[in-house]
Structure 1
Amino acid sequence: MPTTQHPISTDYETAKSFLWHQNDSAFYYFNKFTTSSKDSLRMAMAFNQMAAIQSDAGDYYGAQEILVQSLRYLHEQDTSDRKCLASNYNELGMVNYSLKNYDAAIAYYDEAIKLSVVPNYTAIFQNNKANAYQKKGDYQHALLIYQRAFERTDQNKVEYARTLTNVAMTRWLQDHHYNASIPLQQALHLRLAAKDRWGLNSSYSHLADYYLQTQPDSAQYYAQQMYVVASLLKSPDDRLTALKKLILSSPPRDMRGYFARYQLLIDSLQKARNAAKNQFALIRYQVEQKKVENLQLQKDNNAKNYQLFKQQLLLFASLLLLIGGLIGGSYWYRRRKERLILENQKVVRENELRTSKKVHDVVANGLYRIMSEIENQHEVDKENLLDKIDLLYERSRDISYDPPRMETIDFHPKIAKLILSFATSNTKVLLVGNQEDFWQHTTAKAREELEHILQELMVNMKKHSRASNVVIKFEAQNDSLQITYSDDGVGFAEGTKPRNGLRNTGNRINGLGGQLIFDSILGSGAKIQLTFPKA
């Protein structure tokens, strides 16, 4: 059944424009496309490209996972899917080849060859299969496939040189008495004439291996040439391979320098690949999280609309019941009296709540912050500790009245110091966007309230979350400011009632005319979003 055609997404085209020169951006837009598209074939193609990017960055296991996702959107019976299917299986073969799972690689190449509809691609898949047999040590099978390539009449010089090199090296690996120098040199001259850099990289590698035991100086020369070409190709793996060959073929006086370059390059490459793996995982997580949030927002909107309908229906029914009722002065007087009583009770509760908040913020959180700082210090400065306790005591005496608020010129360093004081060797704390221009849009009252709120969130994290990573992000929007707290701790079970600290946080942000959005699932961390208007 043919795949339904859909308009090409802007995200897909944007991803293609970044491909192979800004791969992180290409990966982001391909991933974004897969979360919103309904075109199964293009989704599979996007996953295929994402896997190729991950494989190129050395994230082979991540690439396998993405390729399996791609296969779920394709069907062998659909002829329009076969090209992408063949590409997926070839990519899976190359990933397993890189992981040295040669039997699995051969099986995937067989699937790619079976589904291939483009002769040139079929030739590439067969060559890849022969390479796997060669690496496995099954030289007979490898030679059978390479020999078939000679029978093709449509080979160009580059393809012929590739086949010639592969046949010569496989015969030499099978029998070290075989003289492979003539065909290897012939292939090298063809590649030099064609300016085929990848082919030259292969030829220099094979010639270095061939001459290693018999002519080490020749092996060293070809290894040096391979290193030069690999550098031009910006291929760190091939540069490492060339350095290995130089270490093996060079005299002792040169070995140390090549080994130092090898160690430096492999360390740099490992760091870059680890960073790429983390970046790919973060991109996928953020896009998936956004998708989940959008779905939740749709669900919430539907629930609100249904609730609004119920309220309107209830209101209509109430109006029908009230029509004809007696609305007398006694009812008005009774309601007014009740309202006055409630207002008085509310004033009392507000005074109690304000005092309670001050006790909690000044004494409890202040004391806990001092304890946290002592806990994370190797040595305790007694004089500094006494000063902080004395300041805490003086502030506790002033709880009964509101002192005048002092303007702080540099407020962001104060916030940074407050939040980072909760960082430990087990808990990493990251601030994003805590800049002076963010706080310029806040009033003195807002800054005071936000300082208490942030202190409360960090105390709550320290006491309950068991988080390893905490991120607090400050963002300025059109007419509002937003602070987002997130951690990877234990989270809260559904239905958990907020403690006093979190209730105070909600009351404070409401007092600023803002809102608090609390999102947490047990075992999956917590996310708290504070939004309030600019001053």
Structure 2
Amino acid sequence: MKKNKNLVLLFSILIIISCYNNKENLTQKDKILKYYSLSKNDSLSIDKRKENLKKAFKLIEVIKFDSLELKMLNYNVILFRKEKNYKKAIQASKHLLIKALKYNDKRSIGEAYYKLGLYNERINQKDSAYFFYNKSLKIYEVINDSMKIGRRLLNIAIIESSFGDYKKSNATAVKALQFFDKKGTEYIASIYNNLGINSRKQELYEKAIKYYEKAITLSKKRNKINIYKNNIAISCKKMKNYDQSIDILSKILIDSTLNKFLETKARAIDNLAYVRWLKNSKLNVLPQFLEAKRIRIKEKNFEGLIASYAHLSDYYGELDKSKSLTYAYEMYNIATKEKSPYDIIEALDKISMLETADKGINFAIKRNKLKDSLIKVKDKEQYKYALVKYESEENEKKALKNKYLAEEQKTEKQGWIFIGLTTMLGFIMYIYYKRAKTKKEKVIEVYKTETRLAKKIHDELANDVYLAMNKIQNKSGEESSILADLEKIYLQTRNISHENSPVLTGNQFEGFLKQLFADFSADGCKVMNKGLSEITVNELSKEKQIVIYRVLQELLVNMKKYSEANLVIVSFSLIKDTLQIQYKDNGIGVETLEIKNGLQNMETRIKSIGGSIIFESEMQKGFQAKFQFKK
């Protein structure tokens, strides 16, 4: 009986303890919810809201409340966004991702990837943004969330547009359309706006306007509609249809809702003033320029402020050089602070034109250096973008897990598969390397043979002919005829030697190539190059430099012999990773183009580096050759 009483007492104590713990947990949850609610109170300062959220985080460490913790982590990111502290927002998004992966919450994982994409885009890390948007897209495809799939495709299309990949951007945008229903009309409008931007960037202004008009018919948000109308006005301005542009911008400014959207208002005021000034440079639009500037300063809209200073500098260009220069410097300072390289270049252009000669030269040099570095950075960004675009999804998944979790475990089967794939890949790479090496060796061997023969012709045959000429130089009659023939042979051997002399490669190649053009700019013929300095030919491999030189040299030699041209243009361009070179002269051309000896040699050379070449010619329309290969 005593034992039974003890058991009843023990059981009662356990119930009381359990009830107390439940009450304590309930109290903790109430406190967390209270602090979380305060953190979302718009009437409090950001610092105060962050302080409340921090208190909630401390309490949630004690009890398990996964869903609320993920909401709090998500809102923590939003608070950093409100401060425009995008680097902190990225760190907070990574923390959200780690927790979401830990709890295997697919929606939160997708949201974390999206936020990583969004804030990397805000700090101009567009290759990273593209990567994370794609990761977010894959998650929403798994859970079949149509709306989120469409939104991520729109994000991706915008990034593709920023990389100049307009064809891919258009395809992605059109693909996004199928994922939106009637609730997604604002996103559909944004898609048409993106299609309009792509068209405008390709100078297809009328097509761009049609897309913007489609966006306007779909949108119900006044601010969005005004943004799309502003885009139409810009396209009209580009077409120099100033009256229509002025009419559109004027109507935007009478919208009663505009005072709620001051960035849009400032943009419309500034653009209207600028278009009116373009139409009539004597018009006083200074008050409007200054009003737009004032709003942008107040709103801390630095991107818009750059445009204001650019327009003010242009406005004062003829009126007051000193003020024009002051605004150019203001533009430069803001663009530098915002790390906007293209705006910095534009500002430096203005400063170099307005400054004194000595200072102007220094700024021009600075501008050119920045432009050169930008080309290299852009190439690197394009390379990273291409890697993300084509990288294996499985490899991305492993890399990301290793980076954020370091929890990847491999089974024996996966290990053998990996070894097998690696071995196969290694074998393929080895075969590719051997083939490439053989091609390179052939090119170099041909080059060495040409150079050796040229030297032999010069040192032996040409010298012997020259000695023979000396022996009969003082004789007359038939000997003088022989002398003329020998002199002709001597000149031919010297030309052959010169045409096959060594090519300066590496860092000296660009200068050596320019000298080739200069050598052939004689006897009433001018040889010009276009785009050579922008494609960094000095970075090409030795064999590719040799092939470029020999092919262009052979084209120029043929031009001198047969074409009677007085102008030759050699154009260089880089499209993605393909180098394209076009030779064009205004000579007599040929009626029927036959691929023989010289042209065949050029084809062989270009094919040896994995490239292709085509020739075109018509009577009295000159001769063209276009060749290309992977850089």
Provide the TM-score with structure 1 as the length reference.
0.51
Do the aligned partners of residues 32 and 183 (structure 1) sit closer, same or farther apart at CA in structure 2, a change above 3 Å counting?
A: closer
Is the counterpart of residue 148 in structure 1 residue 251 in structure 2?
Answer: yes
> Is the 8 Å Cα contact of residues 64 and 92 (structure 1) preserved in structure 2?
no
Is the counterpart of residue 46 in structure 1 residue 152 in structure 2?
Answer: yes
Counterpart amino acid of residue 363 in structure 2 = Y
Task: For residue 177 of structure 2, give the secondary structure of its aligned residue in structure 1.
Answer: coil
Do the aligned partners of residues 153 and 287 (structure 1) sit closer, same or farther apart at CA in structure 2, a change above 3 Å counting?
A: same
Work out which of the residue numbers 293, 297, 313 in structure 2 matches 1:188. Answer: 293
* Aligned twin of 1:17: 116
Counterpart amino acid of residue 250 in structure 1 = E
Work out which of the residue numbers 106, 113, 120 in structure 1 matches 2:223. Answer: 120
* Aligned twin of 2:237: 134
> Is the 8 Å Cα contact of residues 157 and 172 (structure 2) preserved in structure 1?
no
| Distance (Å, rounded) in 1 between the aligned partners of 2:130 and 2:279 | 42
Do the aligned partners of residues 51 and 271 (structure 1) sit closer, same or farther apart at CA in structure 2, a change above 3 Å counting?
A: farther
* Aligned twin of 1:226: 331
* Aligned twin of 2:360: 255
* Aligned twin of 1:28: 131
| Distance (Å, rounded) in 1 between the aligned partners of 2:153 and 2:223 | 23
| Distance (Å, rounded) in 2 between the aligned partners of 1:85 and 1:41 | 11
Counterpart amino acid of residue 368 in structure 2 = Q
Q: Deviations over 1:98-145 (max 9, x none)?
A: 333322221221121122132221111111211121122111111111
Deviation at 1:76, TM superposition (A): 9.8
Q: Deviations over 1:395-453 (max 9, x none)?
A: xxxxxxxxxxxxxxxxxxxxxxxxxxxx98479xxxxxxxxxxxxxxxxxxxxxxxxxx
Deviation at 1:192, TM superposition (A): 2.6
Q: Deviations over 1:29-53 (max 9, x none)?
A: 3224545714443223222212322
Is the counterpart of residue 280 in structure 1 residue 385 in structure 2?
Answer: yes
| Distance (Å, rounded) in 1 between the aligned partners of 2:240 and 2:224 | 25
Matches within 5 A, 1:178-327: 178-287=283-392
| Distance (Å, rounded) in 2 between the aligned partners of 1:278 and 1:75 | 30
> Is the 8 Å Cα contact of residues 193 and 228 (structure 2) preserved in structure 1?
yes
| Distance (Å, rounded) in 2 between the aligned partners of 1:211 and 1:270 | 31
> Is the 8 Å Cα contact of residues 164 and 187 (structure 1) preserved in structure 2?
yes
Deviation at 1:247, TM superposition (A): 2.5
Q: Which segments of 5 or more consecutive residues in structure 2 lack a partner in the other structure?
A: 1-104, 397-433, 450-540, 546-606, 612-631
> Is the 8 Å Cα contact of residues 154 and 176 (structure 2) preserved in structure 1?
no
| Distance (Å, rounded) in 1 between the aligned partners of 2:206 and 2:345 | 25
| Distance (Å, rounded) in 2 between the aligned partners of 1:70 and 1:153 | 32
Task: For residue 109 of structure 1, give the secondary structure of its aligned residue in structure 2.
Answer: helix
Provide the TM-score with structure 2 as the length reference.
0.44
Root-mean-square deviation (Å): 3.7
* Aligned twin of 2:190: 87
* Aligned twin of 1:483: none
| Distance (Å, rounded) in 1 between the aligned partners of 2:394 and 2:543 | 28
Counterpart amino acid of residue 252 in structure 1 = A
Deviation at 1:372, TM superposition (A): 9.2
> Is the 8 Å Cα contact of residues 16 and 26 (structure 1) preserved in structure 2?
no
Q: Deviations over 1:48-93 (max 9, x none)?
A: 212322334xx22x24413422322425982123222211221222
* Aligned twin of 2:211: 108
> Is the 8 Å Cα contact of residues 114 and 132 (structure 2) preserved in structure 1?
yes
| Distance (Å, rounded) in 1 between the aligned partners of 2:439 and 2:187 | 56
> Is the 8 Å Cα contact of residues 54 and 277 (structure 1) preserved in structure 2?
no
| Distance (Å, rounded) in 1 between the aligned partners of 2:183 and 2:346 | 39
Counterpart amino acid of residue 206 in structure 2 = D
Q: Deviations over 1:336-393 (max 9, x none)?
A: xxxxxxxxxxxxxxxxxxxxxxxxxxxxxxx99999997668989xxxxxxxxxxxxx
> Is the 8 Å Cα contact of residues 439 and 608 (structure 2) preserved in structure 1?
no
* Aligned twin of 2:280: 175
Counterpart amino acid of residue 50 in structure 1 = I
Deviation at 1:146, TM superposition (A): 0.8
| Distance (Å, rounded) in 1 between the aligned partners of 2:293 and 2:542 | 58
Deviation at 1:205, TM superposition (A): 0.7
* Aligned twin of 1:476: none
| Distance (Å, rounded) in 1 between the aligned partners of 2:309 and 2:333 | 10
Deviation at 1:468, TM superposition (A): 7.5
Do the aligned partners of residues 10 and 370 (structure 1) sit closer, same or farther apart at CA in structure 2, a change above 3 Å counting?
A: closer
| Distance (Å, rounded) in 1 between the aligned partners of 2:117 and 2:246 | 39
> Is the 8 Å Cα contact of residues 177 and 191 (structure 2) preserved in structure 1?
no
Q: Deviations over 1:187-212 (max 9, x none)?
A: 22333333321221111011111111
Is the counterpart of residue 165 in structure 1 residue 264 in structure 2?
Answer: no
The structure carrying a bigger helix percent of its residues is: 2
Counterpart amino acid of residue 148 in structure 2 = R
Do the aligned partners of residues 100 and 257 (structure 1) sit closer, same or farther apart at CA in structure 2, a change above 3 Å counting?
A: farther
| Distance (Å, rounded) in 1 between the aligned partners of 2:286 and 2:214 | 35
Deviation at 1:171, TM superposition (A): 1.2
Aligned residues: 307
| Distance (Å, rounded) in 2 between the aligned partners of 1:369 and 1:137 | 52
Task: For residue 87 of structure 1, give the secondary structure of its aligned residue in structure 2.
Answer: helix
Do the aligned partners of residues 39 and 379 (structure 1) sit closer, same or farther apart at CA in structure 2, a change above 3 Å counting?
A: same
Q: Deviations over 1:159-179 (max 9, x none)?
A: 333222222111111112211
Counterpart amino acid of residue 319 in structure 2 = T
> Is the 8 Å Cα contact of residues 195 and 211 (structure 2) preserved in structure 1?
yes
Work out which of the residue numbers 68, 73, 76 in structure 1 matches 2:171. Answer: 68
Do the aligned partners of residues 424 and 186 (structure 1) sit closer, same or farther apart at CA in structure 2, a change above 3 Å counting?
A: closer
| Distance (Å, rounded) in 2 between the aligned partners of 1:151 and 1:288 | 50
| Distance (Å, rounded) in 1 between the aligned partners of 2:174 and 2:437 | 56
Counterpart amino acid of residue 109 in structure 1 = Y
| Distance (Å, rounded) in 2 between the aligned partners of 1:424 and 1:165 | 52
Counterpart amino acid of residue 218 in structure 1 = K
Counterpart amino acid of residue 196 in structure 1 = N
> Is the 8 Å Cα contact of residues 226 and 242 (structure 1) preserved in structure 2?
yes
Q: Which segments of 5 or more consecutive residues in structure 1 lack a partner in the other structure?
A: 1-5, 292-366, 381-422, 428-465, 470-487, 489-535
> Is the 8 Å Cα contact of residues 220 and 246 (structure 1) preserved in structure 2?
yes
| Distance (Å, rounded) in 1 between the aligned partners of 2:436 and 2:388 | 34
Deviation at 1:26, TM superposition (A): 2.9
| Distance (Å, rounded) in 2 between the aligned partners of 1:373 and 1:55 | 37
| Distance (Å, rounded) in 1 between the aligned partners of 2:436 and 2:107 | 54
Do the aligned partners of residues 15 and 63 (structure 1) sit closer, same or farther apart at CA in structure 2, a change above 3 Å counting?
A: farther
Counterpart amino acid of residue 133 in structure 1 = C
> Is the 8 Å Cα contact of residues 118 and 129 (structure 2) preserved in structure 1?
yes
